[in-house]
C-alpha cells in the first residue's frame, strides 16, 4: 500500500512516497522515493504497485534501516553512553530518516535530514548550527560502525560529503565560545540568598559552599559530587577528579588537579558525613542554581559559567596558562589560550565579604 508524506523545508515542499507490501505481517517489498510534486509521487506509487501485482518486483533481502542500526549500536555498547548522545540518538529515531535503509542512503538524504533538524521538525524549536552538527556527528558515529561491526553496507564517503555540504550551506557549524562570567554583584546576590536559606533550613544543600568551590576550583558540578575524601590531599593541595569530561573517553579519565588555597579551605570546612565531600546529586545542584538565578533576575548564567570564571580568575591573578591548566585539568594549551590575553589585575576575591561565611 502506498503512502505520501508531505515535508516542508526552506527549499520548498517535498513529497516522500513509500510503498510497503506485507505477507503474514512481514514486509516483502519496501520502496520509497522523494519528489518535488505530489502528482509525480502518485504516479510513482501507481507504477510500483502495478509492477508488484504483475510479479515484476523481486523482494529484496531484509535490510537494516537507520533506526534499527541505532538500536544495534546502543545494544552493542560495552561502556556507558553519555546522556546527551543517548538523547540525540533517540531523537534521530523520530525523524523520517530512521525508516531509510542504511545501504541505500545518499548524501542528499542526510543533507535533508540536517535541514529538518535545523528547522525544528517534530514540534521543537529551530536548532543552532552547532546543535545540528552534533546530531550529524552522533549519526555519523553509528553509520561508521555499520559495515565493520554489523556487516551492513555503507560508504562512509556519503556522510563525509553530506557534512561538507551542510557546513558550506551554514546548516552546521561550530558552537560559539561562551564568555559569560558572573559579576561580583551577581555572586553577592546569589550568596546572600544561599546563606539566608541555609540559616532558615539546616537541611538545605550547602550551595553557599558549592558555588564558591566551583568558582575557585574550576570543577564541573558532576565532578564536584564525585569527589571522595580519599581523593583529596590537603598536604599536596590536590584532588583526583574521576572520569573527567573528555571528547574521546567518558570513563577512566582520572586526572589529579591542583586546588587553590580557597578551595582547600572550603573542603576543610565540610563535615565528614559520607565518603564523598559533597554528597549531593549534580542535577539537584544545577536546578537550585538555575532556579535561584531566575528568582533573582540573573539572566543567562549557568553553573558551568563558574568554571569559565575560575579559568579567567586564575590568569588574572598571575598564573601562566600551564599553571592554570594544572587546576582546570585541560589537556590542550589551545583550550585555555583564549584566556592568555587577560592581564594580571590581582585577586578580586581577596577581601570578599562572604568568604568568612564559607568556613563556618
Closest C-alpha to 289, from 221, 350, 201: 221
Q: Is residue 4 a contact partner of residue 15, using CB atoms and an 8 Å limit?
A: yes
Max alpha carbon distance in the chain (Å)?
87
HSE, side-chain direction, 13 A CA sphere, residue 207: 29
Angstrom distance (rounded) from CA 20 to CA 31: 7
Close Cβ partners of 291 (under 8 Å, ≥ 6 residues apart): none
Q: What is the pLDDT of residue 82?
A: 78
User: Residues of the chain with pLDDT > 90: what percent?
Assistant: 52
The predicted-structure confidence for 292-325, as pLDDT tens digits, reads as follows 999 999 999 999 999 999 999 998 898 888 899 9
C-alpha cell read off for 78: 560495552
For residues 202-210, average pLDDT: 91
Query: Taking 80 as the threshold, does the pLDDT of residue 178 lie above it?
Result: no
The four Cα atoms 92, 243, 321, 315 give a dihedral, to 10 degrees, of 90
CA torsion sign for 339, 341, 347, 353 is negative
And the C-alpha cell for 243? 572520569
Q: How far is CA 315 from the centre of its chain?
A: 27
Q: Are 80 and 251 in contact (CB under 8 A)?
A: yes
Residue with cell 598536604: 235
Q: Report the mean per-residue pLDDT for the chain.
A: 86
User: Quick check: 94 and 100 in contact, CB under 8 A?
Assistant: no
Measured distance CA(196)–CA(209) in Å, rounded: 13
Contact 101, 63 (CB under 8 A): yes
pLDDT at 245: 76
- The predicted pLDDT at position 206 comes to 92
pLDDT of residue 32: 79
Name the band, by pLDDT with cuts 50, 70 and 90, for residue 135.
Answer: very high
The answer on pLDDT for 5 being more than 60 is yes
Helix (H) or strand (E) holding 198: helix 184-200
Q: Where residue 20 falls among pLDDT bands split at 50, 70, 90?
A: confident
CA–CA gap between residue 64 and residue 146 (Å, rounded) = 10
Exposed e or buried b for every residue in 232-253, given b needs 16+ CB within 10 A? beeeeebbbbbbbeeeeebeee
Which pLDDT score is estimated for 59?
Answer: 60
Distances (CA, A) of 296 to 189, 299, 302: 8, 9, 13
Span 84-99, mean pLDDT? 90
Average pLDDT value for residue range 215-224: 93
Q: 111 to each of 95, 103, 129, 138, 325, how far by Cα in Å?
A: 13, 16, 13, 15, 39
Cα separation, 217 vs 296, in Å, equals 25
Instruction: Give me the DSSP letters along 31-79.
Output: EEEEESSHHHHHHHHHHHHHHHHTT-PPPPPP--BHHHHHHHHHHH-SS
The grid coordinates listed for 261 are 588555597
DSSP state, 104? G
State the pLDDT at residue 83: 80
- Interval 153-168 mean pLDDT: 93
Task: Please choose, from the candidates 102, 94, 96, the residue with its C-alpha nearest in 3D space to the C-alpha of residue 63.
Answer: 102
User: For the purposes of burial, counting CB atoms within 10 Å of the CB of 199, is it exposed (0-12), middle (13-18) or buried (19 or more)?
Assistant: exposed
Task: Count CB-CB contacts under 10 A for residue 184.
Answer: 10
Do β-strands 232-233 and 26-35 pair in parallel, antiparallel, or remain unpaired?
unpaired
- Which is more confidently placed, 56 or 156? 156
Amino acid at each position: 500500500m502506498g503512502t505520501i508524506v508531505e515535508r516542508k523545508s526552506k527549499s520548498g515542499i517535498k513529497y516522500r512516497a513509500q510503498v510497503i507490501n506485507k505477507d503474514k505481517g512481514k514486509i516483502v517489498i519496501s520502496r520509497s522515493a522523494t519528489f518535488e510534486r505530489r502528482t509525480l509521487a502518485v504516479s510513482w506509487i501507481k507504477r510500483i504497485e502495478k509492477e508488484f501485482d504483475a510479479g515484476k518486483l523481486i523482494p529484496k533481502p531484509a535490510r537494516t534501516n537507520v533506526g534499527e542500526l541505532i538500536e544495534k549500536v546502543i545494544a552493542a555498547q560495552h561502556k556507558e553512553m553519555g546522556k546527551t548522545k543517548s538523547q540525540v540518538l533517540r531523537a534521530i529515531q523520530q525523524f523520517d530518516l530512521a525508516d531509510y535503509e542504511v545501504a541505500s542512503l545518499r548524501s542528499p538524504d542526510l543533507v535533508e535530514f540536517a535541514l529538518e533538524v535545523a528547522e525544528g521538525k517534530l514540534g521543537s524549536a529551530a536548532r543552532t548550527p552547532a546543535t545540528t552538527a552534533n546530531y550529524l556527528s552522533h549519526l555519523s558515529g553509528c553509520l561508521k560502525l555499520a559495515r565493520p561491526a554489523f556487516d551492513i553496507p555503507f560508504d562512509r564517503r556519503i556522510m563525509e560529503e553530506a557534512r561538507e555540504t551542510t557546513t558550506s550551506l551554514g546548516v552546521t557549524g561550530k558552537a560559539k565560545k561562551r564568555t559569560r562570567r558572573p559579576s561580583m554583584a551577581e555572586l553577592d546576590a546569589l550568596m546572600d540568598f544561599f546563606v539566608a536559606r541555609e540559616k532558615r533550613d539546616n537541611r538545605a544543600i550547602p550551595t553557599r559552599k558549592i558555588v564558591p568551590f566551583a568558582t575557585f576550583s574550576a570543577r564541573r558540578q558532576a565532578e564536584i559530587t564525585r569527589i571522595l575524601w580519599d581523593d583529596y590531599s590537603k598536604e599536596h593541595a590536590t584532588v583526583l577528579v574521576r572520569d573527567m569530561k573528555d571528547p574521546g573517553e567518558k570513563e577512566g579519565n582520572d586526572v589529579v588537579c591542583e586546588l587553590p588555597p580557597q578551595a582547600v579551605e572550603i573542603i576543610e570546612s565540610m563535615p565528614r558525613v559520607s565518603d564523598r565531600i559533597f554528597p549531593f546529586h549534580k542535577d539537584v545542584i544545577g536546578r537550585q542554581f538555575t532556579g535561584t538565578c531566575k528568582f533573582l533576575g540573573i539572566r543567562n548564567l549557568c553553573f558551568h559559567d563558574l568554571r569559565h570564571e575560575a579559568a579567567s580568575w586564575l590568569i588574572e591573578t598571575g598564573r601562566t596558562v600551564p599553571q592554570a591548566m594544572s587546576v582546570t585539568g585541560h589537556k590542550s594549551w589551545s583550550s585555555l589560550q583564549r584566556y592568555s590575553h587577560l592581564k594580571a589585575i590581582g585577586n578580586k576575591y581577596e577581601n570578599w565579604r562572604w568568604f568568612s561565611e564559607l568556613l563556618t
